[in-house]
Amino acid sequence: MIEIDEIDAKILHALLKDSRSKMKDVAKECGISAVAVKKRVDQLKTNGVILKPVLISKMSKFGYGFLALIGINLESSQENNVIEMMRELIIVSRVEKTFGKYDLCINVFAQNLNQLDRLKNVVMTHPGVESVEINIWSKYVANYDNIKLQSR
């Protein structure tokens, strides 16, 4: 676990709210110079705390009106095969191995419900897949305000 101070935590919270924040605005919020913010951000990148900037687009503007989470339970011997199959599908945005109700959770974008149903049928016929459940997102609300980042 990496240790960060209160200023690093403020920088991270500002960037979580808006990753395109100007360094001078973050600096004002943190009470330090923009140069100091830049150095701290660079150090957070070097330490692997900040991985990369990510573009999040509204996929419905491209005809993908549905974001769904597909939960898959499978035989452990088929895990890598199913992951590879899912990664090759165009509408899959994330493949994650999980602990809990599902062995794998897959985020997909779909143009319509028929496309999701066809995907479910394709996955169900894959060897080793025991069950598939689709959950369609109705709204996404990100909230990082209550997450304590400071560790010193």
pLDDT tens by residue, 120-149: 999 999 999 999 999 998 877 766 677 777
Give the pLDDT mean for 95-99: 92
d(CA 147, CA 18): 16
CA quadruple 62, 85, 141, 135: dihedral positive or negative?
positive
- Rounded CA-CA distance 78/36 in Å is 49
Query: In this model, does residue 114 exceed pLDDT 70?
Result: yes
Hey, what CATH topology would domain 59-136 get? Alpha-Beta Plaits (3.30.70)
Determine the pLDDT at residue 3.
81
- Selected residue with higher pLDDT from 149 and 18: 18
Band (pLDDT 50/70/90 cuts) for residue 151 is low
Q: How far is it, in rounded angstroms, from Cα 136 to Cα 51? A: 28
pLDDT digits (tens, 9 = 90+) for 28-77: 999 999 999 999 999 999 988 888 776 666 777 888 888 999 999 999 99
- Tokens representing 64? 């993908």
Quick one: pLDDT at residue 92? 85
Protein fold of 6-46:
Arc Repressor Mutant, subunit A (1.10.10)
Domain with CATH 1.10.10.10 in the chain: 6-46
pLDDT in tens, 82-95: 998 888 887 888 89
Residues of the chain with CATH 3.30.70.920: 59-136
CB of 40 within 8 A of CB of 8? yes
Q: How far is CA 115 from CA 87, 110, 149, in A?
A: 17, 6, 40
User: pLDDT at position 150, please?
Assistant: 64
The two counts, helices (H) then strands (E), for the chain are 5, 4
Are 82 and 126 within 8 A, CB to CB? yes
